[in-house]
Chain A
């Protein structure tokens, strides 16, 4: 009824419900992409931006305040904080993005198959999903990292084993809706082979939601990596990482607050950029 008076009017229904492939880039999406590009650029160009080596210790220059060549001062081991900050971007962003790749691929594939074929495969998969989801994801990740031993590979494996679930659910849900749409029914009626229907017709339409989720999943995965780093279970030292930076600075939070504040803000900034990209993508597609 509330939608009804508007939906009944010709011209309105089509505009609010369909996925429009508009080429217009909305300001949210642009802002997000620009911010993200800047952060990536800073990380990539780190050696050009700062002359300090993030790993180089200098115990004589321990805990210097900002100034005199050190933009953000130095930490306990005399390493330049600003350098560590931007070099961490390399590590955290790279690991965060890569860690999402496998769950995305595996989860999307499984979700696509489960949604399309249904039956026992779907039932088994959904049971599996329920089991994984019963665990707080971080608890499971940390248990897996512990079991597999510390290291970047373990992080990838742990996040993959826990993260595929969300994609499978989302894609399966989208497929369940999409396969009743007219274009899917038409494709089936025309006798096209299943793999072709799945790949050419279904997949492009269900990928949107998975992609939007992937954006926030990168944030979640960076948060997981940073938390692991804070706990000392993350990327092995001496590689700089925002999480371990926060842990190292925690002891001096009252005197040298920027040691913990700065890396945190960096993570927030990355989160903001990715959230803007995700929101902008949703807006662009016209779906809410």
Chain B
């Protein structure tokens, strides 16, 4: 396998605010290869969106990378000059966002928006770029692309807009697409279609995917590898199969437990009491400890490192939990999930 397209090493992102500095991403490491789909899962406020934006050099103005590095196609972009970085990042990776309506220029026809990169950056002529745009629209499953070419974003449906955003992402011929909650605003059937497009691109063209979402159902069907984030850190990482059948972090287990399973006749939703941590503060010990049903004294005092779990032979499985090796001793509901997994 070739070198990873994207590597994040101990990434730190901070946002200076009036009240202090928000340390939103704390030492996150992540790898993504071409042809592979990696999931980044967590609640709102876990730092997952900012992680993606940092990788893509698109952090909103006050936010900054304050530690660690971003390596794209084998080259460290963190220290590069902005123009260099932008050129490398945008030719290797592309990004799609949650709200396709606001992600598209409201006063520009969608065909022109898809043709923009081929024309401006790849140097194609007007007609060549148009042909390319039509082809891309076709690839993302839009029927009659010629008819849609001159439409404005607000004239199209949500699902179609998201496909157009994927087409735009493809237009730069990236090896990797970073998707920030691409299906959250869509209803379930459309979700499936959009995910299908992404999956098709991965299978047929080897375009990798880093998918950020809070929805476990989405990652379970799309991603082969998962990173679970909490409080700005990765708390568990491993292949999707393993994490779904044998999670080794109470947070992951709790998340899995709280997803309703339509096949189960009786079901009590496990909600995770409490609120996410205040990322303005330095947190002593494990960030999840205040809400963790399995927390012990040590959890509140010492932060558990992200280390390998068990005797996993199929690949790497890491968890940041002092009690990762003893799920059978966790309290009832989450122990159940840890030992038996969820129906996928």
Asked whether A9 lies within 8 Å of B98 as measured between CB atoms, the reply is no
Q: Is A69 an interface residue (CB 8 A)?
A: no
Asked whether B276 lies within 8 Å of A10 as measured between CB atoms, the reply is yes
Asked whether A15 lies within 8 Å of B19 as measured between CB atoms, the reply is yes
Segment at the interface with A among B134-142, B244-252, B277-285? B277-285
Contacts of A6 in B (CB 8 A): 15, 60, 63
Contacts of B99 in A (CB 8 A): 1
Segment at the interface with A among B43-51, B121-129, B297-305? B43-51
Complex CA gap A15/B62 in Å reads 15
Contact with A along B59-78 (1 / 0, CB 8 A): 01001000000000000000
- Of B19, B44, B47, B98, the contact of A1 (CB 8 Å cutoff): B98
User: A4-B98, A8-B49 known; A15 and B275 CB under 8 Å?
Assistant: no
Asked whether A11 lies within 8 Å of B22 as measured between CB atoms, the reply is yes
Majority-rule SS of B interface residues: loop
Asked whether A12 lies within 8 Å of B17 as measured between CB atoms, the reply is yes
User: A1-B97, A1-B99, A1-B102 known; A8 and B17 CB under 8 Å?
Assistant: no
Residue in chain A with minimal CB distance to B49? A5
Asked whether A8 lies within 8 Å of B45 as measured between CB atoms, the reply is yes
Contacts of B15 in A (CB 8 A): 6, 9, 12
Complex CA gap A8/B49 in Å reads 9
Asked whether B24 lies within 8 Å of A2 as measured between CB atoms, the reply is no
Interface residue count for B (Cβ, 8 Å)? 26
Contact with A along B170-202 (1 / 0, CB 8 A): 000000000010000000000000000000000
Contacts of B97 in A (CB 8 A): 1
Within 8 A of A (CB), among B231-266: none
Quote the shortest CB–CB distance from A13 to chain B (angstroms).
Answer: 9
Complex CA gap A9/B59 in Å reads 14
Contacts of B60 in A (CB 8 A): 2, 5-6
Contacts of B18 in A (CB 8 A): 15
User: A1-B102, A1-B103, A6-B15 known; A11 and B278 CB under 8 Å?
Assistant: yes
Q: Is B203 an interface residue (CB 8 A)?
A: no
Residue in chain A with minimal CB distance to B51? A5
Contacts of A5 in B (CB 8 A): 49-50, 53, 60, 63
Residue in chain A with minimal CB distance to B102? A1
- Of B17, B102, B276, the contact of A15 (CB 8 Å cutoff): B17
Residue in chain B with minimal CB distance to A286? B18
Quote the shortest CB–CB distance from A100 to chain B (angstroms).
Answer: 32
Complex CA gap A15/B103 in Å reads 26
- Of B19, B63, B98, B279, the contact of A10 (CB 8 Å cutoff): B279
Residue in chain A with minimal CB distance to B13? A5
Quote the shortest CB–CB distance from A89 to chain B (angstroms).
Answer: 37
Complex CA gap A12/B63 in Å reads 12
Complex CA gap A83/B98 in Å reads 66
Complex CA gap A1/B44 in Å reads 13
Complex CA gap A51/B69 in Å reads 72
Contact with B along A1-27 (1 / 0, CB 8 A): 110111011111001000000000000
Complex CA gap A6/B47 in Å reads 9
Quote the shortest CB–CB distance from B305 to chain A (angstroms).
Answer: 24
Contacts of A4 in B (CB 8 A): 49, 98
Contacts of A15 in B (CB 8 A): 17-19
Contacts of B45 in A (CB 8 A): 8-10
Complex CA gap A24/B18 in Å reads 13
Complex CA gap A12/B102 in Å reads 22
Asked whether A12 lies within 8 Å of B22 as measured between CB atoms, the reply is yes
Complex CA gap A203/B246 in Å reads 58
Contact with A along B95-115 (1 / 0, CB 8 A): 001110011000000000000
Asked whether B277 lies within 8 Å of A10 as measured between CB atoms, the reply is yes
13 pairs of residues in contact across A and B, judged by CB atoms under 8 Å: A1-B97, A1-B102, A1-B103, A1-B180, A4-B98, A5-B60, A8-B44, A10-B275, A10-B276, A10-B277, A10-B278, A15-B17, A15-B19
Q: Which residues of A contact B (CB under 8 A)?
A: 1-2, 4-6, 8-12, 15
Shortest 8 CB-CB contacts between residues of A and residues of B: A8-B44, A5-B49, A10-B45, A9-B45, A10-B276, A11-B278, A11-B280, A8-B45
Q: Which residues of B contact A (CB under 8 A)?
A: 15, 17-19, 22, 24, 44-45, 47, 49-50, 53, 60, 63, 97-99, 102-103, 180, 275-280
6 additional contacts (CB under 8 A) given A8-B45, A10-B275, A11-B280: A1-B180, A5-B63, A6-B60, A9-B15, A9-B22, A9-B279
